[in-house]
Structure formats: structure tokens, C-alpha cells
Structure 1
């Protein structure tokens, strides 16, 4: 049977155009229904459902940045979010072995000598090694001699004691950048409320353990609150959010339990202090000139700025004022609203240009997620919190 290639191409193209029009209509319907909003850079943010807060491309396509080395997204989650990717266990599980298996990060990482071609031979750099996944053979990074590999299971296993003893649940886990960075997020059982007698803003407390295999960062455990009302997940400002781990590589028996309890105690103390400080901010009125002073302290004016830089600065100020107006409707014109506005700007609106070396070039939503995971904006968020807390003394 002969096939008219021109006719086949025309049919395929027509099918693609119909699918594109259907997708566009569905996106417009979601916009009209208030399920998504258009962002200034042409992308979209989901406002309702399990995916609330997630970012879509200008074409309305989800972008995630998850590791796809094994053919599926390296993700476990307790709720069907992340654009329905990964393996979902409704309600979650407290079994770290199951989590590591489902999210595809229960693989080993080994160190092999770094080699390079020279003329017709292959030479070995005695000072450097590659970290390599044993399941795919992919190189994860180049590190110096003496670099200690912390296997994913070892890195996260000590936190299993929290799940066993305190009814904490593994909320999500996954791998980014081909497995160079992996994480597990645990939802703690206690409740945290800001200004219970006023705005009554709820915070869901998480502890996130982060491991890397490319030498870019050490193993760490981070307190990461989530505010479901405003959709911000944060490595929050204001103090000891990173808990140094004493026995990450070889926690065994009593040491593992001791380290888990220490991590939990630090997290509980952090969230207790966080609730007190955020409540204080929620009860601190804010004048517009004080908000402008905050913006200028975070992004200092430049007397030698070019016209383009001036326009960028004005656009940032207008966006920050619009975000403050939105927060003011919900929580009043307070220092708390100002902190939420700045955080929202850093999370969703601040310019970002993913580099080719990050492995996320052209994927801004994934790059934003990685910035949050790695705490790129920690210093600015901490400075915001400190300056707003100082307003209580005026």
C-alpha cells in the first residue's frame, strides 16, 4: 500500500494544530475561571487544585526539571501534584526505603579517576575524580581527591527515626539535574499558626534533607515552611534554618537516633520562634515610606545606572507595590504583608537566567525551584526579616 507523504504530513500537521487550539481554549477557560493567572513574563501560575503555586510556560506547558534518567520523573509524592508526575502514595508513607525506591534515587554513587585525552593517549588527573551513578554510568560532577560521597540512603535514613517516633510523613522526594541533587521532604505533625487571634495564617512545617553529588553543596537539613494561603514555600528568613548534621555518612544505632532527635528538637524550636516573630510582624503597622526604604535597602539605588537599569528598577518597585497591595487586602498593611510581598517577588517574579552549566538552561520554573532548594535567596530573605523586625522598636 503506497502512502502519499504530503497528505500524511498535512494530516499530522492538522492534528497538531487542533491539539494546540484545544490546549489554548482550555488554558483560556482556566484563566477565565480564575484557576490560573498570567505572570508579567508571559508564563502562568496555577492558583487552584493540587498544583497550586506551580508555574507553566508561556505555552501553558508544565516545566519541572526533575531527573528523567530512568525514563520516568524521579519523584515520590504524597499528593498528586507536580503536574501528575512521579509515583503517588495518597496520604504518604513513613517508610524511607519505599520512598527511595519510588522516586528512583536509591542508586549508588562511586568515584572514578578523572581522565583526559592528550595526543594519542589518555591521561589521569591524580588530583580529581568523577562522581558516577552506578545505574546509568552518568557523571554527576568532578570533585577533588578526598571528597566524601554520602549515599542517598545513608543521607536520609537517619531521619527515619522521626517518622517512626513522631508520626511524621514523607511528603515528597526527588532528584534534579540528572541526580546531581536529591531531596526528601518530611511533614512534621505539629501545627504552626501566625497571629491566631488576628489573621490566623496557617503554616505547614516541613523538614527537607538535601544531598548533592557534584560538590556544589554539603549535606544539610533545612526547615522549610509552607503557607498554603499565599502558596509560598520558603527557606524562611530569620535564623537557624539549616541544621548541621553530625553523622550523615554513617549514622548507626544510638548515634542515628540521637541525631534524628536533635534535628527534630532544632526544627520544633525554630518553628516556635518563627510563629512568635511572624505574629509580631503581623501586629506591626507599616507605612509606605517604610516599605520603600526596605526596597531601597535590598536593591540599593545606583547613581550611574543606565536608562535600561532605571526602567528595570521602576518595574521591580511597581511589582513589589502591587504584591504588597494584594497582601494588604488579606492581612492588613503590616510588616508581615511586606515580608510576604518580598518573598513572593523573589519566588516568582525576580529575573532569572538559567545557565547552561546548571543543566536547566531555558527552564526558568525548574531553575526557580532549584534556587529555593539551594537557598540562593536566603541572605536577602533574612535581611528582609531583620529589617522588618527592627520596625517593632520604632
Structure 2
């Protein structure tokens, strides 16, 4: 199943909910009103718990018993390893070590509820379960906005959290602003600052989640700085040629391609890369969201062309791959970071940044 959204046989529903509009796929529950954390847990099929169970394997060969020696099978406990199991259907989600601490789905919501005290102001947008239940994700809208220009260009502030029950990764939370006019995810990581927090599944993980009000401070700091930066970029003019060159440099796949770009040897570039650049540039030129006062012919519009390409144009293998690429530190996020760095340099040094002079 390409979308990898869990189908809960007990309820007969897909384990996903979204407020008002479908996201990523056409499955799950679409609700009209923002739910409480308890309602979100139920609507998204997150109302199950996980337990660690001793792990056993089969042994064979010669077995010594009180009656002598027998040939047969034996059940052997695997030391220091456990199976994580869903208690509602006994699905095995993964194998973990003795120091692994389970953070239940309900406890993951404490991250959000503790940000502004009891969840006041937190609006749960989406949540869901992937695979058999080994990974969950939650997206919540925070109070306030990032406003660019005269205020018509609004970016809402979101925090995204995902965690796994199979031992494959940490509890991860990221501040993610989304541009409302085009639903464009802007994953801007500011220099000398992180917008991603990772908590290992070890002793004390639950307490660290409940101290998440610190993340709210980080989100506000990020959004305040982003608002200032984006408003400055909206005032910086960029020609079509400069926009195309910025896109080309941001999407550059390797040093060899970068060398060809600097030498002006575009014939040496791969067809795949050239097509990618042209698709992103076309988005910059014709997308409705790129024709506003703050985006058309501006540095802010050039940055949005890169992030918008990954969110709205590029084809992904499936929706989980898209999620990984954009939010969880994949290709889209790294290229968006590159675009952010290029735009920052362009705002300071102009076209010299793009080797156009």
C-alpha cells in the first residue's frame, strides 16, 4: 500500500484524520472542527498502547533432561532484547533493547498540550498511524502568524511531531511554517540555530516531552526572525535570470554539476537535473502564489520557488516519501536550506552570489 496509512481492522477505518481538507491521500476521517487531543487520538486511530514483551527463539539439537538426552526443539529467551507489541491486536512493531523506553501515543500529545498550558491555543490539524502502528505523526497549528508585505501573504506556524515504536528513531519535533495561500511548506533552518528537536527513547524521555514549552520559545524566536527576513526579501528585486540561477544552484546535485554551472557548460549537465530546474522555474513564473506583490520578481519569490517545487510540483514514490523528504531532513529540506543560504547571501551581496557578474 503506497500511502502506508494503517488500516485498523478493529474499527474498519484508516488511521488518519485531517481538519476540513484531505491531505497527502484520500483516506481517513475529515472533520470540520478542530478536535481536542482526546478526540484527535480517537479520530486518528492512535488509541492503542504498546508494551515490551520478552523475545524468544527456537533452538534445536541435543537437549539434556532429567530423563537423559533427547533430540528436539527448545524455546530460548533472547537476552536484553524485546518485541514491541500493540496491545489491541498483538501486532509486533519491532525489536528493541533493554534500555528502550516506550512513549505511548497519548504521551506524545503532552508535547503539544504543555506548550501553552493544557492545549489552549493548540489546533490539531492532522495525525495518523503508518504501517502496523510502528510510526505515528501529529501536526498542530500554533497561535499567531508570519506576515509578509501588507499582511495578505500569511504563513501559519505549525509544529510537527513524529515518533516510532519499532526502535528505528527518536521522537522528533520540528517547527514548520506553512504558507497558507499555496499550502507551501517552508522548512527554513536558520544559521546557528536548530528548528528540530530529537528525544531518544531512553529514561527521562517522557519528562523531556512534557517540558516542551521550551520548544514554543524556539518556535516564536524562529517565526519572529523569519518574519523579519521574509519581509526584507520581499523588498529585494530579482530578475528572471537571477531567479533561474538561484534555483539551479539550490537544486544542484553534486560538485561536478556545480563546476559545469560555474563554467557555463550547461550541455554537460544531466537531462534529469535540467528538467528539474525547468520545472521549478516554470512554477516560479506561472504559479498563482508566485504572482503576488511579495513574490513576483522578488528574492522571497525565488526562495518560495524552490520550496514550492518540492511541495507542489515534484513527484514522489508515495506520500511517506514526500513526508520524509520535506519534513524529516530529506532532499527537499536540504535543498530548501541551500536556497535559504543563497537568498541570505544574495540579500547581502547581490548578483555576485550567483556568479552572474
Q: Shorter-chain TM-score: what band?
A: 0.7 to 0.9
Q: How does 1:303-342 map to 2 (within 5 A)?
A: 310-326=270-286, 328-330=290-292, 331-342=295-306
What whole-Å deviation, never above 9, does each CA across 1:181-232 have from its counterpart, x for those lacking one?
Answer: 21222212212212237xx311111122222112232112211222122222
Note if contact 2:112-2:119 (Cα within 8 Å) is conserved in structure 1.
Answer: no
Question: Partner of 2:132: helix, strand, or coil?
Answer: helix
Distance across 2 between alignment mates of 1:317 and 1:208? 29
More strand by share: 2
Note if contact 1:131-1:141 (Cα within 8 Å) is conserved in structure 2.
Answer: yes
Note if contact 1:225-1:233 (Cα within 8 Å) is conserved in structure 2.
Answer: yes
Distance across 2 between alignment mates of 1:165 and 1:174? 19
Q: Give the direction of change, closer, same or farther, for the CA distance of 1:278–1:116 in structure 2 (3 Å limit).
A: farther
Q: Structure 2: 5+ residue runs without aligned partners?
A: 61-72, 261-266, 350-357
Match of residue 233, structure 1, among 185, 193, 204: 185
Match of residue 167, structure 2, among 204, 215, 232: 215
Q: Give the direction of change, closer, same or farther, for the CA distance of 1:218–1:262 in structure 2 (3 Å limit).
A: same
Note if contact 1:237-1:384 (Cα within 8 Å) is conserved in structure 2.
Answer: no
What whole-Å deviation, never above 9, does each CA across 1:108-156 have from its counterpart, x for those lacking one?
Answer: 1122344445555554443533222111222222333322221111122
What whole-Å deviation, never above 9, does each CA across 1:6-55 have from its counterpart, x for those lacking one?
Answer: xxxxxxxxxxxxxxxxxxxxxxxxxxxxxxxxxxxxxxxxxxxxxxxxxx
Q: 2:93: which partner in 1?
A: 140
Q: 2:28: which partner in 1?
A: 86
Q: 2:136: which partner in 1?
A: 182
Q: Structure 1: 5+ residue runs without aligned partners?
A: 1-61, 354-363
More helix by share: 1
1:151 partnered with 2:104? yes
Q: Give the direction of change, closer, same or farther, for the CA distance of 1:387–1:137 in structure 2 (3 Å limit).
A: same
Q: 1:356: which partner in 2?
A: none
Note if contact 2:126-2:140 (Cα within 8 Å) is conserved in structure 1.
Answer: yes
Distance across 1 between alignment mates of 2:315 and 2:121? 40
1:250 partnered with 2:214? no
Question: Partner of 1:98: helix, strand, or coil?
Answer: helix
What whole-Å deviation, never above 9, does each CA across 1:62-114 have from its counterpart, x for those lacking one?
Answer: 97432113331112333242466433442212x32222122111211122344
Note if contact 1:167-1:189 (Cα within 8 Å) is conserved in structure 2.
Answer: yes
Q: Give the direction of change, closer, same or farther, for the CA distance of 1:144–1:155 in structure 2 (3 Å limit).
A: same
Match of residue 238, structure 2, among 269, 286, 289: 286
Q: Give the direction of change, closer, same or farther, for the CA distance of 1:374–1:185 in structure 2 (3 Å limit).
A: same
1:371 partnered with 2:331? no
Q: Give the direction of change, closer, same or farther, for the CA distance of 1:240–1:352 in structure 2 (3 Å limit).
A: same
Q: Could you state the TM-score of these two structures normalised by the residue count of structure 2?
A: 0.76
- Shifted more, 370-379 versus 262-271: the winner is 370-379
Tell me how large the CA RMSD over aligned residues is: 3.3
Distance across 1 between alignment mates of 2:327 and 2:337? 16
Q: Give the direction of change, closer, same or farther, for the CA distance of 1:309–1:142 in structure 2 (3 Å limit).
A: farther
Q: 2:124: which partner in 1?
A: 170
Distance across 2 between alignment mates of 1:155 and 1:173? 11
Distance across 2 between alignment mates of 1:103 and 1:388? 39
